Amino acid sequence: MVIVQPKSYYDRRAEEIRRQADRIAVLIVSTDYPLVDIAIERSNLRDEAESLFPDRMEIYDRIYESRFDRLIEQWRAEIE
């Protein structure tokens, strides 16, 4: 028998941040959503992450901001 523990508030919020980051990645790669609007989305996500996990922003930057930068460089550099 497998016992499933209920997720904590912070676990649920971390999952939501991951989902939002994935959504932003899709906007970068698969749409013509303007980069200025993507920058606003990124800023909003960063603010939300910082409000929940202020002591982990270095990790956030290494994972998500570097991912967004790489995707923009790969998929949008020649467009903009």
Interval 19-31: pLDDT, tens: 999 999 999 999 9
Interval 54-67: pLDDT, tens: 999 999 999 999 99
Banded model confidence at residue 78, pLDDT cuts 50, 70, 90: low
Where are the chain's structural domains? 32-80
Structural tokens at position 76: 């949008």
Among all chains, which residue has been given the structure tokens 């800023």?
43
pLDDT value at position 6? 82
CB distance 30 to 19 below 8 Å: no
CB distance 48 to 60 below 8 Å: no
Q: 19 — alpha (psi -120 to 50), left (phi > 0) or beta?
A: alpha
Cα–Cα nearest to 53, from 9, 5, 10: 10
Structural tokens at position 24: 């932003």
